[in-house]
Amino acid sequence: MLLAAVALGVSPTERAGASTRLNREACILVGASGAPGLNDLSNQDDVGAYGCEVSECREQVTDPETGEYLCHYGRAALVGLSCQRSSRRAHAFVDRLVRDHGYERLKLGVDAAISAKQDHVSVAMALGRETAEYIPNVFSDDDPNPIWDGIRADAIKGAKNLIPVWKHRQGKIC
């Protein structure tokens, strides 16, 4: 199961280049999220066989020693999907995160929970026998502690945005 990464997306259309059905579905959902906090949603990439990520570098710097470009401040978001054997198992995934990993319950119209740090957030959700994680994060090549102010609110907004499309596509994913 997916736990921690990054993503968001473009428009709710399928990407021809996605390598698996779950990658394509994840790209649809990352696009539907609207990727709050990101400006450029066109750079989608597959993550494993189950996810889709979008990222952008907002500030580049030149390494004085090598002359290479570094990303001083970037943001990304990921949607990861998995199919469980039953609805009960999908909901147990969210329950385990709350019970064993410190996630807090969220009211989003699906079974959902959130874990938030200053540099990344994970919103885990279950719908039928499908599970999804929406994970925005911040990154830097030269700053070990980049911060995304408002990342929790942006994560909740992105998750709320993707849920109607997910509900409409339910059954097509798994």
Query: Does residue 45 belong to any structural domain of this protein?
Result: yes
CA 138 – CA 152 distance, rounded (Å): 12
Query: Does residue 3 belong to any structural domain of this protein?
Result: no
Listed in sequence order, the residues at least 6 apart from 80 whose beta carbon sits closer than 8 Å to its beta carbon are 2, 5, 7, 26, 47, 48, 50, 51, 132, 133, 135
pLDDT in tens, 155-170: 999 999 999 999 999 8
Here the tokens at position 92 are 């147990």
Phi and psi at residue 31, in whole multiples of 5°? -65, -40
Identify the CA nearest to 118 among candidates 99, 141, 86, 140.
Answer: 140
Give the range of the structural domain holding residue 130, as residue numbers without chain letter. Answer: 21-169
Query: Does residue 90 belong to any structural domain of this protein?
Result: yes
* Percent helix, percent strand, percent coil in the chain, to nearest 5: 25, 35, 40
Query: Does residue 64 belong to any structural domain of this protein?
Result: yes
Per-residue pLDDT, 39? 84
Query: Does residue 67 belong to any structural domain of this protein?
Result: yes
Strand partners for 46: 52
Per-residue pLDDT, 17? 54
Q: How many domains does the chain have?
A: 1
Q: Which residues of the chain have pLDDT under 50?
A: 1-16
Per-residue pLDDT, 64? 87
Query: Does residue 8 belong to any structural domain of this protein?
Result: no
Query: Does residue 139 belong to any structural domain of this protein?
Result: yes
Per-residue pLDDT, 15? 44
Query: Does residue 6 belong to any structural domain of this protein?
Result: no
CATH for 85: 3.40.1000
